[in-house]
Amino acid sequence: MDGNILVIAVLGVVALSAGLFVIAGGSSAERNAAKRVTAVSARAVVARRGGAGSAADPADRRRKQVAETLKDLERKAAQAKARPTTKQLIEQAGLDLPVSRFWLFSAICGAVIGFLVFAKTGTPLAGAGAAFAAGLGLPRWVLGFLRGRRQKAFLVEFANAIDVIVRGVKSGLPLNDCLRMIGQESPDPVGGEFRLLVENQRVGLPLEDCLKRFLERMPLPEVNFFQIVLTIQQKSGGNLSEALGNLSLVLRDRKRLQGKIKALSSEAKASASIIGSLPLAVMLLVSLFSPNYLDPLFSERTGNIMLAGCAIWMFLGVLVMKKMIDFRV
């Protein structure tokens, strides 16, 4: 009897130990399973975050690169807006002329006009003033006139040149071939400027430096826009045909707006021209019908002072009227 009780006790202890082991093992397995689930979940979250970061990092890098490129281009554009040198003015006017020869022509022009004024008035001071004004002012005015006329002719065909690039890129042509096509087929000055752009690339200059020289030769906002689009596309990528197509639309809208402003301000310009030329026309008519009527203005000191004051006031009035009717887009 005692043996049976001992066997039963041993079996009970074994069963209790087995139950405790199973319970402990189950809870441990559950804990291990919970740990594994937590670890897998944590890895999944990290993977998702890493994937989102990897997907966002290129976009962030591209935005930062575009911002840095824009800042660099704005700095270069501010430098290009500085007062141009005589050599740059000659290049922008489309003249193949050394600077030394330009100053030689300026000196000859000043000497001739100064001699003519001195021979007419007999006053050395008037001759020296006329020589100084003609030697420094007249040649630069001619350069400014030629420069403005060339820039206007450039803007007439520039939007069409950009359309050629857009169509060429959409059809699969490289950008360099499109630029070469414009240089060969477009009329000057657009064709000449793009030929210089292609030649600079051919000798090994990067596109950014070529566009910078392009902007120096043709300092226009439209060329600055073109430089920004190509530089950003080269550094950051993107749809070049779409960007240049939008630029072409902007240029045509600017041209349309300039024409509208010119039409609306034509009446004010005509009025300013009449008001500015009226005193000179009256003086000319009075001199024709009464030759001696205006002699005191030229022969007496008080008349000279009055004439100088009237000239100064007329000059200031013309400048004010020009400022009022000069609209820039």
pLDDT tens per residue across span 91-121? 888 888 888 898 999 899 888 888 888 887 7
pLDDT tens for 33-68 read 455 545 544 444 444 444 444 445 666 665 665 566
Give the end of a domain, one of 254, 279, 296: 254
Same-domain pairing of 280 and 148 = no
Tokens of 163: 């359309």
Same-domain pairing of 120 and 249 = yes
Same-domain pairing of 234 and 188 = yes
The pLDDT, as a whole number, for residue 300 is 83
What is the helix (H) or strand (E) element at residue 309, kind and residue range? helix 301-325
**Residue 30 falls within a domain, yes or no?**
no
**Residue 23 falls within a domain, yes or no?**
no
The pLDDT, as a whole number, for residue 44 is 41
pLDDT tens for 226-282 read 888 888 887 777 788 888 888 888 888 888 888 888 888 788 788 878 887 888 888
The pLDDT, as a whole number, for residue 146 is 92
Confidence of residue 150 (pLDDT cuts 50, 70, 90): very high
The pLDDT, as a whole number, for residue 54 is 46
**Residue 43 falls within a domain, yes or no?**
no
**Residue 45 falls within a domain, yes or no?**
no
Tokens of 177: 């071939």
Same-domain pairing of 162 and 237 = yes
How many separate domains does the chain show? 2
As a whole number of angstroms, the distance between CA 314 and CA 329 comes to 28
Sign of CA dihedral 71, 74, 76, 79: negative
Residue 9 has pLDDT above 70, yes or no: no
Tell me how many degrees the CA angle 160-181-232 measures, rounded to the nearest 5.
70
Average pLDDT of the segment spanning 302-323: 84
The 10 Å Cβ neighbour count of residue 34 is: 10
Same-domain pairing of 212 and 277 = no
Considering only residues 73 and 36, tell me which one the structure prediction assigns the higher pLDDT.
73
Q: How many residues does the chain have?
A: 329
Average pLDDT of the segment spanning 11-20: 48
The identity of residue 269, as a single letter, is: K
Domain containing residue 194 = 86-254
Give the end of a domain, one of 220, 254, 288: 254
The pLDDT, as a whole number, for residue 154 is 92
Same-domain pairing of 247 and 327 = no
% pLDDT > 70, the chain: 74
The identity of residue 274, as a single letter, is: I
The pLDDT, as a whole number, for residue 5 is 53
Same-domain pairing of 97 and 144 = yes
**Residue 285 falls within a domain, yes or no?**
yes
As a whole number of angstroms, the distance between CA 305 and CA 298 comes to 9
**Residue 152 falls within a domain, yes or no?**
yes
Residue 29 has pLDDT above 80, yes or no: no
Closest CA to 259 of 155, 107, 177, 169: 155
Tell me how many degrees the CA angle 309-315-320 measures, rounded to the nearest 5.
125
**Residue 115 falls within a domain, yes or no?**
yes
Residue 290 DSSP class:
-
Give the end of a domain, one of 254, 275, 305: 254
Same-domain pairing of 199 and 287 = no
As a whole number of angstroms, the distance between CA 315 and CA 13 comes to 122
Same-domain pairing of 108 and 249 = yes
- CA-atom Rg of the chain in angstroms: 40
Same-domain pairing of 269 and 156 = no
Same-domain pairing of 191 and 227 = yes
Same-domain pairing of 284 and 249 = no
Confidence of residue 1 (pLDDT cuts 50, 70, 90): very low
Tokens of 298: 């030229």
**Residue 216 falls within a domain, yes or no?**
yes
- The per-type count for the chain, helices as H runs and strands as E runs, is 12, 0
